[in-house]
Amino acid sequence: MSVTAIAFTFLSMGAFAFLMWTIVQKQEKNDPKFEEKLAADDRRAKTNRQAAGMEAGAATGQVPKQIAPQLPTEPPKQAP
Write the pLDDT tens digit of every residue in 26-40: 988 888 888 888 889
The answer to whether residue 19 is domain-embedded is yes
The answer to whether residue 10 is domain-embedded is yes
What pTM was estimated for this model as a whole? Answer: 0.45
The answer to whether residue 32 is domain-embedded is yes
* Residue 41 belongs to domain spanning: 3-54
The answer to whether residue 12 is domain-embedded is yes
The answer to whether residue 75 is domain-embedded is no
The answer to whether residue 20 is domain-embedded is yes
Flag whether pLDDT at 51 surpasses 70: yes
The answer to whether residue 41 is domain-embedded is yes
Residue type, 58: A
Number of helices followed by number of strands (H, E) in the chain: 2, 0
φ, ψ for residue 72 (rounded to 5)? -65, 135
The answer to whether residue 44 is domain-embedded is yes
Number of domains, the chain: 1
